[in-house]
Structure 1
Amino acid sequence: MNARLNFLENPVAAKYVKHLVAASRAVTDSALPTATQELVKLRASQINGCGFCVDMHTKDALHHGEDATRLHMVAAWREATVFTDAERAALELAEQGTRIADAAGGVTDEAWANAAKYYDEDQLAALVCTIALINAFNRGNVMLQQPAGDYQPGQFG
């Protein structure tokens, strides 16, 4: 299977991706824990059906030392006992931020307040940016039918 358009070879798309990657580095360098970033990216990618990003963020999380059991449980995080309360708050925010159209008003005040109990303002900003960025990547990859399964950690820098 080939993607409908090669983002890295098309000059318009490559410029777009370059800026998204630069924006994602600002989040990566934030105080938001790497594990939380990867869990949020994985959950949003699962919801959006982005196989490429599910593959990437599962492998990146494992590469950064994440436990495989936790990764297997992300889709069922509400019932899983392997996540901290802070991670649960981030996953809830990610779900609501990804499924904005499902609820009038988007993210609930309750979900926001719960996340704010565990993350300071800079971490919340990084969390919002992470959710927005992964959704942008997911949507592009899904529209282009980006093939999944061959990603290797470090492949994109």
Structure 2
Amino acid sequence: MDARLDIFANPIAGKVMRHINSAGKILTDSTLPAATQELVKIRASQINGCGLCLDMHTKDAAEAGETAVRLNLIAAWREAKVFTDAERAALELTEQGTRLADGAGGVTDEAWANAAEHYDEDQLAALVGLIALINVYNRVNAITRQPAGDYQPGMFG
């Protein structure tokens, strides 16, 4: 499948993506653990069906040392014993923050309180920003049908 729009070659799309990528750099440099960041990106991308983001973030996570077992169990994190309580809280917040339109009423106070037990205010701010940002990437990629499968770690910087 070919992309509908080359989001890197088009001057307007390219400019928007550079700004979005700048926000991503701020989040990457936060104190939110890198492994948690990848879990969040992968889970939101699974929910949204974004092949390019799944391709990228599973490969980046593996390159950073994430195990195949954990990568394979992200979609079933509730039943898996391989995630910490903090990671579970981040995954729950990710799911609720990604599924806003599913009629669940947004993020529950319980999910927020659980995340707040494991992350300080700066980490929570990074987590909220990351959930929002990966949802933006997922939507851009889905709308423009960006193909998946060719990503190599380090390819985009």
Identify the residue that residue 124 of structure 1 maps to in structure 2.
124
Deviation at 1:104, TM superposition (A): 4.7
Tell me, what secondary structure is at the counterpart of 1:31?
coil
Identify the residue that residue 37 of structure 1 maps to in structure 2.
37
Identify the residue that residue 52 of structure 2 maps to in structure 1.
52
Identify the residue that residue 82 of structure 2 maps to in structure 1.
82
TM-score by length of 2: 0.98
Tell me, what secondary structure is at the counterpart of 2:94?
helix
Show CA shifts across 1:18-54 (max 9, x none): 0111000000000000000000000000000000000
Deviation at 1:105, TM superposition (A): 3.2
TM-score by length of 1: 0.98
Tell me, what secondary structure is at the counterpart of 1:124?
helix
Identify the residue that residue 64 of structure 2 maps to in structure 1.
64
Inter-partner Cα distance in structure 2 for 1:105 and 1:47: 17
Inter-partner Cα distance in structure 2 for 1:88 and 1:12: 38
Identify the residue that residue 24 of structure 1 maps to in structure 2.
24
Write the letter of the residue equivalent to 2:148: A
Identify the residue that residue 101 of structure 1 maps to in structure 2.
101
Show CA shifts across 1:43-98 (max 9, x none): 00000000000010000101111111100000000000000000000000000000
Tell me, what secondary structure is at the counterpart of 1:7?
coil
- Flag the 1:104–1:73 CA change in 2: closer, same or farther, 3 A: closer
Write the letter of the residue equivalent to 1:137: Y
Inter-partner Cα distance in structure 2 for 1:141 and 1:33: 25
After superposing the two structures, state which structure 1 stretch, 99-108 or 29-38, moved more: 99-108
Show CA shifts across 1:115-135 (max 9, x none): 000000000000000000000
Identity of aligned residues (%): 71
Identify the residue that residue 149 of structure 1 maps to in structure 2.
149
Inter-partner Cα distance in structure 1 for 2:142 and 2:105: 25
